[in-house]
Copies of this chain bind each other. A is one copy, B any other.
Amino acid sequence: MAPGDIMELSARNVLKGTVESVTEGMVDAEVVVKLPGGETIVSVITKGSAERLGLKKGKEVHAVIKASNVIIATE
């Protein structure tokens, strides 16, 4: 998919933030994204994707989450 191809996603949750850290394993990479309010979102993607997207501390990204993957917990 060439850059610019995608305009909109069905995924209901798209949170804008800044990459705080990237930790690479042999297959996967853990990416920590800081939201404007100070909370962090942790994502595990493939190392290949982390490199293709050029993820590194300070880069602006979106964390995308499908609604069916969100569990609700009550206190």
Residues of A in contact with B (beta carbons under 8 Å apart): 1, 3-16, 23-31, 33, 35-37, 39, 41-46, 48-50, 52-55, 59-75
Inter-subunit contact A8/B73 (CB<8 Å): yes
Inter-subunit contact A30/B30 (CB<8 Å): no
Inter-subunit contact B25/A28 (CB<8 Å): yes
- Which residues of chain B come closer than 8 Å to A14, judged between CB atoms? 1, 73
| Sample (18) of A-B pairs whose CB atoms are under 8 Å apart | A1-B14, A1-B16, A10-B45, A10-B73, A11-B71, A25-B28, A35-B37, A41-B70, A42-B67, A44-B46, A44-B67, A46-B67, A54-B74, A61-B74, A63-B70, A64-B73, A66-B68, A66-B69
